[in-house]
Amino acid sequence: MRIIVDADPGIDDALALYYLRAQPDIEIVAIGTVHGNVPVEQATKNALRLVERLNIEAPVAMGAAKPLAQPLMTAEDVHGQDGLGGYAGDEPATTHTQESAAEQLANLARAHPDELDLLAIGPLTNVALALQIEPRLPDLLRRVVVMGGALNVPGNITSHAEANFWHDPEAADLVLAAGFEDLTIVGLDVTMASHAPQEWLEALPLDCYPRRILGFYADFYGSFLGKKGFVPHDPLAAAILAQPHLASYHEDRFAIELTGRYTRGKIVADQRFLAPDSPFGRDVAPERTKARYAVTADHATFLDQLRHAVTQP
């Protein structure tokens, strides 16, 4: 499996890279960065720091600095001022490539048609821009897994919206409308249920880097949820990309609410039980290609795999 990662590192983005690095049958071909948890310059430095730390041999391209249609909003309260819980450390020794993350994605997809998978674990701005550069992107990528959305659970950044989709709702909607044949959405419906308790964290060796960066993130989740531990959103999406059978799915046509006063950024689907011959047509995006939305996952297996991945030398 050869994959392109689009990310906004980000503490759980970092864990996703640890997870992927530990999979013998996965090659990370390239990384693109995007605004989201922190400004894109910081996300890019963090991506470079992580590929250096993890010996991942992949180019890092800097992506979009702001959403398509709304002002930039970041989440340092969740990930720390430096995006890695105060442990970003020294300046990276390497630099990002000259092309943008959107250009990198379009160029790689053209060069390797139907060979590459995309794991998008930040706002979807780069993917939307890549669709403008290369409208055939849905035919060129083999599979796309996106972390985002809160379908039948509350949001995490507003009452109804999940952070990645809320950071760029227009981009997320363009991606859902693009016609990807093999699109999986890993939203809060499954990631919140993969909550890792404090004991999971405390079982990690003290000198293990993920344990250090997770301190800040776990403090945030402790105050957000009222229970200690943390939610591994992005590594669960990585795990579902690597092993689709870890999850079960609801297939539907999805859209992002762009105008709702309380619901902007929320993923929606028409989930009414409509008989096949019902006179009521489906309301939500009936013309769109169906996507798979993860509804359950094997959390115990995943958390075991993640522990193994973050403690691997």
Respond yes or no: is residue 96 known to be catalytic: no
**Strand-strand pairing, 116-120 and 143-147:** parallel
Contact status, residue 184 vs residue 240, Cβ threshold 8 Å? yes
State the binding partner of 78 from Ca ion, ligand BDR, none, CB within 5 to 8 A by kind.
ligand BDR
Q: Which of 96, 233, 250, 299 is catalytic?
A: 233
Q: Under rule CB under 6 A, which residues in 116-135 are in contact with ligand BDR?
A: 121-122
Binding mask 148-187 for ligand BDR (x = CB under 6 A): --------x-----xxx-----------------------
Candidates 3, 5, 6, 13: give the one binding ligand BDR (CB under 6 A): 13
Part of the chain binding ligand BDR (CB under 6 A), chosen from 5-13, 25-33, 111-119, 243-251: 5-13
Does position 229 interact with Ca ion (CB under 5 A)? The reply is no
**Strand-strand pairing, 27-33 and 60-61:** parallel
Residue in the block written with tokens 């009521």:
280
Does position 50 interact with ligand BDR (CB under 6 A)? The reply is no
Does position 30 interact with ligand BDR (CB under 6 A)? The reply is no
Q: What is the DSSP string of 153-214?
A: S--SSSSS--HHHHH-HHHHHHHHHS--SSEEEE-HHHHGGGPBPHHHHHTS-TT-HHHHHH
Candidates 68, 84, 121, 151: give the one binding Ca ion (CB under 5 A): 121
Part of the chain binding ligand BDR (CB under 6 A), chosen from 9-17, 95-103, 168-176, 260-268: 9-17
- Least separation in angstroms between residue 13's CB and Ca ion is 4
Distance CA 12, CA 214 (A): 8
Secondary structure of 12-59 in HEC code, one letter for each residue: HHHHHHHHHHCCCCCEEEEEEECCCCCCHHHHHHHHHHHHHHHCCCCC
Candidates 23, 37, 44, 305: give the one binding ligand BDR (CB under 6 A): 37
Beta carbon nearer to ligand BDR, 14 or 269: 14
- With vertex at residue 133, the alpha carbon angle to CA 128 and CA 170, rounded to the nearest 5 degrees, is 20
Q: Catalytic residue positions?
A: 233
Binding residues for Ca ion, per CB under 5 A?
A: 8, 10, 13, 121-122, 234
